[in-house]
């Protein structure tokens, strides 16, 4: 028995050595000297919440394809990189099911299979499409009611008083109102902007309270899907809106320019008011730069190679290799985004057609491919009126670090 155990252990050891030093991954530079043999380095970075910084540093030093584990790679390039991984039928890594475990029924974001995801996505794609939102009179109505009828009055009262406001929580409340109104209708949506106590009671035990309500009233699959949409709609978007409000609060001249642009070209509540937002280049620049620097979905988002593939200059990446990219690193490419750590909306206004095209190639706030964020257009059109409402209202004293 002892001999058998030793033989098995020896075979396992030889296999690890082969994967570490003699596989098709061995020519790829290592983020740390231990990664060919162990995942401890990247796991430690994740535990310390420093994964994205560590990966970015590795890419800056070693290049666009870096090994971060025995069978795991980090990628920071578009061609032979992001387009290969996220533009084809790569399944998600099992990490998704583990990270978002606790629910019997899978929902779109946690589905491992690309085929299952595509089938589910078809059910919702139309109502989240750009053309549908632009032509929707319901969106115009809810934007007018929530932004002009609720949020703007609240923001004016904040600016006129000395009260301390948790902008992150109020941003999430606003986005929850918009998201719930879009999903369930304005009449059945939340009003957390005005009902602060109700919002606090809802968000504090969020998963327990919200989940319990839905499990009692809707089928399990539908309830989990809508829960996912609600979480994504208010949480990630609310974080980005908070950064946006902070940045424009520091720049009174930018607020004045935004106000002039908005008053000249856009009126909330008008027919096709979502479509009119695209005629506001300064607002677009502010949104794009905020999403670039303060993306709430930093990643990384792991995928599994379905067959032998090429990444960058490395060919024969074996089937089963876990590969991922992150918007955090992609958006820090100083060749595409000079001074990447600075919030500079002007980069989008001053860019030539060629430069803007290149920036859009590297822009990854919502992912890409068939599994990119289904609510990306709703998120953009939700952020825009909040920015409009805040123009001329905020000051540096309104949003503090």
Joined together, the tokens standing for residue 90 give 């790569």
- Is residue 363's pLDDT more than 60? yes
Structural domain count, the chain: 2
Residue 314, beta-bridge partner list:
311
| pLDDT for the residue 396 | 44
Q: Is residue 148 part of a domain?
A: yes
How far is it, in rounded angstroms, from Cα 233 to Cα 223? 15
Structural domain including 83 reads 18-111+298-342
| pLDDT for the residue 195 | 84
| pLDDT for the residue 401 | 40
- Is residue 14's pLDDT more than 50? no
Q: What is the dihedral of CA 306, 312, 314, 319, to 10 degrees?
A: -10
Higher pLDDT, 242 or 7: 242
How far is it, in rounded angstroms, from Cα 71 to Cα 88? 20
Q: For residues 249 and 287, state if they share a domain.
A: yes
Check whether 174 is labelled as a binding-site residue: no
How far is it, in rounded angstroms, from Cα 233 to Cα 182? 10
How far is it, in rounded angstroms, from Cα 113 to Cα 253? 49
Q: What is the pTM of this model?
A: 0.81
The residue written with tokens 């190679």 in the block is 305
Q: Percent of the chain, pLDDT > 90?
A: 27
The mean pLDDT value for 119-136 works out to 78
Q: Percent of the chain, pLDDT > 70?
A: 74
Q: What is the DSSP track for 253-270?
A: HHHHHHHHHHHHH--TTS
Q: Is residue 354 part of a domain?
A: no
pLDDT (tens digit per residue) in 262-318: 877 766 556 566 667 777 889 889 999 999 999 888 889 899 998 888 998 898 899
Q: For residues 232 and 318, state if they share a domain.
A: no
Instruction: Pick the closest to residue 42 from 2, 72, 80, 5 (CA basis).
Output: 72
pLDDT (tens digit per residue) in 186-222: 888 888 888 878 877 776 655 444 444 444 444 566 6
Q: Is residue 281 part of a domain?
A: yes
- The answer to whether 325 touches 331, Cβ cutoff 8 Å, is no
> What are the start-end ranges of the H helices in 63-166?
83-86, 95-99, 114-124, 130-135, 137-143, 152-160
- The answer to whether 139 touches 182, Cβ cutoff 8 Å, is yes
Higher pLDDT, 329 or 297: 329
SS percent in the chain: helix, strand, coil, step 5: 60, 5, 35
Q: For residues 203 and 326, state if they share a domain.
A: no
Higher pLDDT, 374 or 64: 64
- pLDDT tier for residue 135 given thresholds of 50, 70 and 90: confident
Mean pLDDT of the chain: 79
Q: For residues 78 and 197, state if they share a domain.
A: no
């Amino acid at each position: 028995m002892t001999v058998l155990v030793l033989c098995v252990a020896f075979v396992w050891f030889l296999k690890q050595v082969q994967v570490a030093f003699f596989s098709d991954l061995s020519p790829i530079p290592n983020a740390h000297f231990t990664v060919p043999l162990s995942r401890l380095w990247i796991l430690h970075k994740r535990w310390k919440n420093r994964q994205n910084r560590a990966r970015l540093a590795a890419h800056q030093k070693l290049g666009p394809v870096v090994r971060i584990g025995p069978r795991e790679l980090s990628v920071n390039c578009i061609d032979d990189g992001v387009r290969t991984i996220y533009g084809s039928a790569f399944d998600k890594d099992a990490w998704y099911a583990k990270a978002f475990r606790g629910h019997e029924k899978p929902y779109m974001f946690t589905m491992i299979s690309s085929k299952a995801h595509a089938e589910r996505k078809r059910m919702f794609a139309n109502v989240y499409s750009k053309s549908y939102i632009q032509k929707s009179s319901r969106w115009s109505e809810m934007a007018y009611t929530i932004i002009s009828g609720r949020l703007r009055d609240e923001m004016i009262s904040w600016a006129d008083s000395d009260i301390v406001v948790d902008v992150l929580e109020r941003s999430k409340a606003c986005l929850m109102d918009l998201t719930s109104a879009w999903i369930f209708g304005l009449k059945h949506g939340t009003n957390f902007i005005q009902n602060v106590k109700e919002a606090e009671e809802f968000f504090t035990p969020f998963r327990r309270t919200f989940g319990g309500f839905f499990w009692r009233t809707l089928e399990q699959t539908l309830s989990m899907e809508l829960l996912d949409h609600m979480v994504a709609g208010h949480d990630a978007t609310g974080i980005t809106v908070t950064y946006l409000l902070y940045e424009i609060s520091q720049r009174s001249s930018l607020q004045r320019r935004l106000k002039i642009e908005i008053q000249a070209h856009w009126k909330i509540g008008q027919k096709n008011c979502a479509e009119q937002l695209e005629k506001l280049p300064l607002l677009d620049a502010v949104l794009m730069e905020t999403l670039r620097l303060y993306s709430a979905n930093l990643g990384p988002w792991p995928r599994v190679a379905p067959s032998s593939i090429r990444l960058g200059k490395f060919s024969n990446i074996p089937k089963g290799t876990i590969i991922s990219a992150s918007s955090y690193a992609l958006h820090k490419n100083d060749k595409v985004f000079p001074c990447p750590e600075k919030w500079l909306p002007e980069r989008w206004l001053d860019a030539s057609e060629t430069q803007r095209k290149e920036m859009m190639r590297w822009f990854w706030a919502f992912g890409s491919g068939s599994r990119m964020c289904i609510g990306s257009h709703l998120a953009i059109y939700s952020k825009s009126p909040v920015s409009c409402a805040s123009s001329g209202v905020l000051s540096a004293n309104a949003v503090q670090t």
